Amino acid sequence: MDVRQTAGLLGRLALEDPGFEHRLSEALERAEKWLQSTAHGSLDPRVAALTGHLADAGGKRLRPLLVLLGAEFGEPWRDGVTQAAVIAELVHIASLYHDDVMDEAETRHGVPSAHARWGERAAVLGGDWLLARAAQLAADLGPGAVHLNAQAAGRLVAGQLRELSGPGPDMDPVTHYFQVTEGKTAALLSMSLGIGALQAGTAAPEVAALTEYGEQLGIAFQIADDLLDLSSPAELTGKQRGKDLLAGVPSLPVVLAREGADPADAELRDLLADGPLAPADADRALALFARSSALTETEAVLRRRLDRAREALRALPPLPARRALHALCDYVALRTS
Ligand code: FPP
Ligand code: MG
């Protein structure tokens, strides 16, 4: 992974505090080197090629950044903070190995997925290996880190299982969407802030504010992704527009369109009624979404989640890290505007 990419996310936050930005950038670089040596750390080169594959492929490194920002509310120089950043990213990368098997994804971060390159069974085991390394690093840090790591991994799996089994006949699909999203996306963002704050010895009320912020930011992130699938050209997202829509992913706009009662959305409701969309209907569905109340409602839910994230920050002291966490909310909002 090119460390310039981590600088990329930092740069996009426009923190206007070069000293703070430089310190974060150096800390991210330390975490990146540790992540790389851990992911490639098997003595067997074939295992190392598999387990290092997605660490090499890149990513925003949002979770390590959140760990470091969470630590800013305590003593960020303490031993264990960098290690916590590595743990959070290892769990994330492990989950992607498994996710690409489940989604039968051919690519991840612009390179062949582990499952495309080594097959399903090896990809699952590669993810397991990384998860085991995260657990080992957490054990070095003590019971608090072990607890947070285990809880986050459990919530991720539970979210994915809920997605797999669907809402069931008696469940409200919108409630189901939020349960899935809390597990799949919010759990690890929240854990990242929590484990960073814990390792830095941050006071309990501030840890609680940070983890609540992470939960809300995580849900907002997923909703923003859902919106991008409907509105953004491939050059911007690296993903074909409407890819999730065609794959039948029950994103929030899709769920709200199916559940809504606006007569103006009737044609869209009909198109979405019988499972995955027919490829021939994709352009029409995207055009209908663009002026649907489902889309307006999704944007409103996104704004409310970002407001809740910002609200959680009010309990924190006005440090540069709090400004950075605000900037992350603006970044999520801007991605979809
Ligand atoms: C990406 O979602 C997937 C996740 C955020 C989590 C996947 C979790 C698991 C597979 C459970 C296993 C977890 C562990 C810890 C081993 P997506 O498919 O909606 O997005 P994408 O477009 O990035 O694939
Ligand atoms: Mg996927």
Q: Give yes or no for residue 160 CB within 6 A of ligand 1.
A: yes
Q: Whose CA is nearest to atom 16 of ligand 1?
A: 95
Ligand nearest to the CA of 244: 1
What mean pLDDT comes out for the span 275-293?
91
Does ligand 1 come within 6 angstroms of the Cβ of 287?
no
How far is residue 135's CA from residue 147's CA, in Å, rounded to a whole number? 10
Q: Residue 218 pLDDT more than 90?
A: yes
DSSP secondary structure letters along 205-218: HHHHHHHHHHHHHH
Query: Ligand 1 in contact with 91 (CB < 6 A)?
Result: yes
User: Which percentage of the chain shows pLDDT scores above 90?
Assistant: 84
Give all strands (DSSP E) within the chain, no chain letters.
Answer: 107-108, 111-112
For residue 205, report the phi and psi dihedrals to the nearest 5 degrees.
Answer: -60, -35
User: Is the CB of residue 187 below 6 angstroms from any atom belonging to ligand 1?
Assistant: no
Query: Candidates 184, 217, 237: which one to mutate for ligand 1, based on the most atoms within 8 Å of Cβ?
Result: 184
Residue ranges and CATH numbers for the domains of the chain are: 1-202 (1.10.600.10), 209-337 (1.10.600.10)
The ligand with the least distance to the CA atom of 95 is 1
Q: Is it the case that residue 5 has pLDDT exceeding 60?
A: no
Amino acid at 292: S
| Widest Cα–Cα separation across the chain | 62
- Helix H or strand E segment including 3: helix 3-12
Which ligand 1 atom is at minimum distance from the Cα of 101?
10
pLDDT of residue 289: 95
pLDDT at 256 over 90: yes
Q: Is 13 in the pocket of ligand 1 (CB under 6 A)?
A: no
Residue 38: both structure tokens together = 């851990």
Residue 51 alpha carbon to ligand 2 centre in Å: 18
Residue 255 has pLDDT above 50, yes or no: yes
Per-residue model confidence as pLDDT tens digits over 190-211:
999 999 999 999 999 999 999 9
Percentage of the residues of the chain whose pLDDT score is greater than 70: 96
Averaged pLDDT, 275-303: 93
Confidence of residue 314 (pLDDT cuts 50, 70, 90): very high
Ligand 1 atom index nearest CA of 249: 19
Least confident of 45-59, 131-145, 270-284, 288-302: 270-284
Protein residue closest via CA to atom 6 of ligand 1: 184
* Residue of the CA atom closest to atom 13 of ligand 1: 95
When the pLDDT of each residue in the chain is averaged and rounded to a whole number, the result is: 93
14 pLDDT exceeds 90?
Answer: no
Average pLDDT over residues 143-172: 96
Instruction: State residue 7's pLDDT score.
Output: 54
Closest by CA to 59, choosing from 28, 80, 84, is 28
Q: How far is the CA of 336 from the centre of ligand 2 (A)?
A: 20
Evaluate whether 306 touches 329 at the Cβ level (below 8 Å): yes
Q: Which two tokens stand for residue 87?
A: 């743990």
